[in-house]
């Protein structure tokens, strides 16, 4: 009930009034039955705007820290995320991927929609990065179709590292469902999993118009930070020589 309260009474109408998000291809999402929505990930606002364009509930997994923060703030945060359809998952351990898959299967087994970000984390520079194969495993183990999704403009509304940015009308594009039943029984073949994941990411790229980088987003972020540190050190060295 809290999910629908947020969507239709509390937060949803306000977001629609202010940002007027545009949605295309909504007809590709069935009115009932289990579906996997595989989306790009530009901003924390993605999980607000994408479900807002659908009449059905969409559930995601969220990091466990959102549910374990102590105090009044933590209590409010925990109930907000749980009530808005988020499922806690500990991403620090080796079993994080298995835990996410188990949670996803539970949602899909009830005929609901599960949303997943194959990149695993938000893009720090607006580019689309290599997808992790968990989405492919989920599709093969459940036999559920995957609908590629592209969210555009949320990194303007809420840029990485900032709570708020500037105004724009976010766009959500839903692609046609992808059926991978031809690979049934091959969920343990890593080459098949990579092929399926790459196909999903290709469709997301076409929908979003993003530049694709064949590198995991986490590694790209680390590389970007390393270059920033080196540039800062070089700049400090030059200033020291000049003085």
DSSP string for residues in 170-204: -EEEE---B--GGGTT-TT-HHHHHHHHHHHHHHH
Q: How many domains does the chain have?
A: 1
The answer to whether position 103 is within a domain reads yes
- Strand 58-63 and strand 86-89: the pairing is parallel
Q: Which domain holds residue 74?
A: 2-214
Contact assessment for residue 128 and residue 12, using Cβ atoms and an 8 Å cutoff: no
The answer to whether position 238 is within a domain reads no
Q: What residues have CB less than 8 Å from 142, skipping those under 6 apart? A: 34, 36, 104, 105, 108, 109
The answer to whether position 229 is within a domain reads no
The answer to whether position 167 is within a domain reads yes
The answer to whether position 227 is within a domain reads no
Closest C-alpha among 47, 21, 227, 220 to residue 123: 220
CA distance 123 to 128: 7
The answer to whether position 71 is within a domain reads yes
pTM of the predicted protein model = 0.86
Largest CA distance in the chain: 69
The answer to whether position 223 is within a domain reads no
Residue found by looking up tokens 């969409």 in the block: 58
Tens-level pLDDT at each residue, the chain (243 residues)? 666 566 666 678 888 889 999 999 999 999 999 999 999 999 988 988 999 999 999 998 876 676 777 787 677 667 667 766 677 665 555 566 677 788 899 999 999 999 999 998 899 999 999 999 999 999 999 999 999 999 999 999 998 877 778 889 999 999 999 999 999 999 999 999 999 999 999 999 999 999 999 999 999 999 988 988 888 888 777 777 776
CATH classification at residue 137: 3.40.1130.10
The answer to whether position 134 is within a domain reads yes
């Amino acid at each position: 009930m809290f999910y629908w309260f947020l969507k239709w009474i509390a937060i949803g109408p306000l977001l629609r009034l202010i940002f007027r998000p545009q949605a295309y291809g909504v007809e590709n999402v069935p009115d009932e039955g289990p579906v996997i929505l595989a989306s790009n990930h530009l901003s924390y606002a993605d999980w607000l705007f994408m479900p807002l364009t659908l009449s059905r509930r969409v559930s995601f997994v969220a990091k466990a820290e959102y549910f374990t923060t102590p105090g009044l703030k933590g209590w409010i945060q925990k109930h907000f995320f749980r009530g808005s359809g988020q499922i806690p998952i500990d991403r620090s351990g080796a079993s994080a991927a298995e835990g996410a898959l188990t949670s996803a299967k539970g949602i899909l087994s009830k005929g609901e929609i599960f949303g997943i970000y194959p990149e695993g984390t938000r893009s720090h520079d607006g580019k689309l990065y290599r997808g992790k194969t968990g989405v492919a495993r989920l599709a093969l183990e459940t036999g559920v179709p995957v609908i590629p999704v592209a969210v555009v403009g949320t990194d303007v509304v809420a840029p990485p590292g900032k709570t708020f940015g500037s105004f724009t009308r976010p766009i959500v594009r839903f692609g046609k469902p992808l059926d991978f039943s031809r690979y049934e029984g091959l969920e343990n073949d890593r080459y098949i999993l990579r092929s399926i994941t790459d196909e999903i990411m290709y469709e997301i790229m076409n929908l979003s118009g993003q530049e694709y980088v064949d590198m995991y987003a986490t590694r790209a972020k680390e590389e970007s930070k390393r270059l920033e540190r080196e540039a800062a050190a070089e700049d400090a060295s030059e200033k020291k020589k000049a003085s």
